[in-house]
Amino acid sequence: MKKTSILNKLRSSGLRPTKQRLEIAKFLFNRDKTFHFTVESLGKHLAKKTTTKFALATIYNTVHAFKKAGHLSEVYLRGKNNTTYFDTNISNHHHFYDSETSELIDINENEIKFNKIPKAPNGKTIKNLEVIINLKN
Amino acid sequence: MKKTSILNKLRSSGLRPTKQRLEIAKFLFNRDKTFHFTVESLGKHLAKKTTTKFALATIYNTVHAFKKAGHLSEVYLRGKNNTTYFDTNISNHHHFYDSETSELIDINENEIKFNKIPKAPNGKTIKNLEVIINLKN
DNA sequence: TTATAGTTTATAATAATTCTAAAGTATGTC
DNA sequence: GACATACTTTAGAATTATTATAAACTATAA
């Protein structure tokens, strides 16, 4: 993804392209494979890869802004550590979770097919459906 | 579930039947339907229903002991609030999650059937598979 | 270039959870 | 039943993830 592309991505979501957001966006979106991270791990990576300074609050703000803008998805999963995972893959998909390594692996939506799904309770609708396959060795 | 049954349940898991554990066990397991709770909500319920005093740490300890002994399962889900849910239903099953009300609803294992499941990555095995169906209004 | 609204930052505040050390209690043994 | 011992509970401190705050900074549009 090119710089202009990232700029547009930010602008189109109403996010001003600040130095920090550009660095974070470059880091998150300039990659081929999807990327799973926690705010903490993202902070560490950024500290290593860039010379820009990032307050932790900025990373939280930016990640949440990206999530709100639909550029990141949150993985509803609670691992060993008590942190929230984010995912640069925003298409509908599922996950393997390896609790040994705290590692998430994407599963394409079409890798899982359902034969039977219950209908939502009274007055509710299904927003989405998330499968987590826990792994062991 | 009778008192002796709960006593046995504790003993068989190597847990000494203390006053606190008995109260907690009675509260959790003397019911027909499965029960979903957080440590906080459990603490509040206990405070209302009993005259016994419970330190928060005791509730954490006891709930984790029950989980370890296989009498409770943990629902790996992160709601609005940042808390962990536990479930008195320890059979394999799935959940609806209503983020409006932070409410969990059990789905029997046989309510969901799969046509296709990916195979686990190199050297890993599938431990279990958890479906969360998020609801909206 | 300037005013404004949006951002970053350091720090404080909150909230869930775990740790700790002391006081209390269940249990097997005599 | 009384004792010693190992396991528990407790209150409060400590830790950790996250959010709030208020002041300094910056992108942007006129």
0.85 exceeded by pTM: yes
d(C-alpha A95, C-alpha A20), whole Å: 29
Q: Which residue is nearest to nucleotide D17 (CA to C1')?
A: A83
Query: Is B103 an 8 Å CB contact of chain A?
Result: no
Residues 80-109 (A) near nucleic chain C, CB < 7 A: 82
d(C-alpha B98, C-alpha B134), whole Å: 6
Tell if the CB–CB gap between B131 and A130 is shorter than 8 Å.
yes
Q: Which two tokens stand for residue B99?
A: 């983020």
d(CA B16, C1' C28) / Å: 13
The model's pLDDT over A80-127, given as tens digits with 9 standing for 90+, comes to 677 899 999 999 999 999 888 888 999 999 999 999 999 999 999 999
Q: What's the farthest any 2 CA atoms get from each other in chain B?
A: 53
d(CA B16, C1' D6) / Å: 11
> How many Cβ atoms from other residues are within 10 Å of residue A93's Cβ?
18
Name the residue among A78, A82, A22 with its Cα closest to residue A50.
A22
Q: Which CATH number fits domain A3-135: 3.40.120.10, 1.10.150.120, 1.10.10.10, 3.40.50.300?
A: 1.10.10.10
The model's pLDDT over A14-47, given as tens digits with 9 standing for 90+, comes to 899 999 999 999 999 999 999 999 999 999 999 9
Tokens 């109260």 -> residue: B23
Instruction: Outline where DSSP puts E strands in chain A.
Output: 36-37, 73-75, 85-87, 93-98, 103-108, 113-116, 125-136
d(CA B48, C1' D18) / Å: 30
Query: Is B84 an 8 Å CB contact of chain A?
Result: yes
d(C-alpha A127, C-alpha B98), whole Å: 10
Considering only CB atoms, B132 lies closest to which of A74, A105, A130, namely A130
Mean pLDDT of successive 10-residue stretches along chain B, which has 137 residues: 75 89 95 93 95 95 93 80 89 89 90 95 92 91
For residue B117, what pLDDT is reported? 95
Tell if the CB–CB gap between A135 and B121 is shorter than 8 Å.
yes
For residue A107, what pLDDT is reported? 95
Q: Is the pLDDT of residue A79 over 70?
A: no
Query: Is B83 an 8 Å CB contact of chain A?
Result: no
Strand, coil or helix: what is A105? strand
Domains of chain B, residue spans: 3-135
Residue B129: CB less than 7 A from any atom in strand D: no
Q: Is the CA virtual torsion A41, A39, B73, B22 positive or negative? A: positive
